[in-house]
Amino acid sequence: MRLLSSSLWAALSLTALLAGCRGQESDQPPVHLNPNMDSQPRYDSQAESKFFEDRRTMRFPVEGTVAKGNFLENDVYATGKDGDQYVAKMPVPITESMLKRGQQQYNIYCTPCHDATGSGMGLVVTRGGYPQATNLNEAYSRTMPDGQIYGAIAYGIRNMPSYAAQIPVEDRWAVVAYVRALQFSQNASIQDVPADKRGGMPVEAAK
């Protein structure tokens, strides 16, 4: 009797176990005794909403919403303009790390057209047939207000598209600072190099 009942149990549990792996797929969610908010209703993006009057699942942000960290109090910093005039000098102090960042961003975004030296003869111009980009080393560019360089990046100018989507405000000023350094480097003389950094180059010969 004892033997019989234990083999019966063994057979029963084996059947139950095998029944559990029938290999059939099911659309039904598994039995979940304590759901604990594990599954909740959700919408797919672009799906129709039965809750909102306009039937849109994707909601617009509340008017005037600004993404965290994107609130710019200082108008000059955000626009490069004071009123409707471009500011002559950039509104943030220049640091070495900023110049390095500006150089990196310039080399990525501006060299295709303006060339690494700023000549305006980048590959897109010489090979791609793109309209001549402004030579950043000519007097016109060297004497333009800092805000105008910022403006070219932020808003684009005639044939140059805006780079606002690629280059955030902080980096735009870094690029402006780097363009100034580039202009200086392309128009510098040996006198501008500190004596101990001239590598023995005689001042006369370098002229």
Q: Which residues bind ligand HEC (CB under 6 A)?
A: 109-110, 112-114, 124, 130-131, 133-134, 141, 148-149, 152-153, 157-160, 163, 167, 175, 179
For 103, residues 6+ apart whose C-beta sits below 8 A from its C-beta are 178, 181
CB nearer to ligand HEC: pick between 121 and 193: 121
**What is the Cα–Cα distance from 175 to 120, expressed in whole angstroms?**
16
CB nearer to ligand HEC: pick between 52 and 140: 140
SS3 content of the chain, % helix, strand, coil (to 5): 40, 5, 55
Bridge partner list, 56: 48
CB of 144 to ligand HEC, least distance (A): 6
CA trace torsion 123, 97, 171, 104 (10° rounding): 20
CB nearer to ligand HEC: pick between 76 and 133: 133
CB nearer to ligand HEC: pick between 157 and 193: 157
Q: Is the Cβ–Cβ distance between 137 and 121 less than 8 Å?
A: no
CB of 161 to ligand HEC, least distance (A): 6
CB of 59 to ligand HEC, least distance (A): 34
CB of 105 to ligand HEC, least distance (A): 7
CB nearer to ligand HEC: pick between 90 and 110: 110
Judged by DSSP in three states, 33 sits in: coil
CB of 133 to ligand HEC, least distance (A): 4
The phi and psi torsions of 159 (rounded to 5 degrees) equal: -80, -5
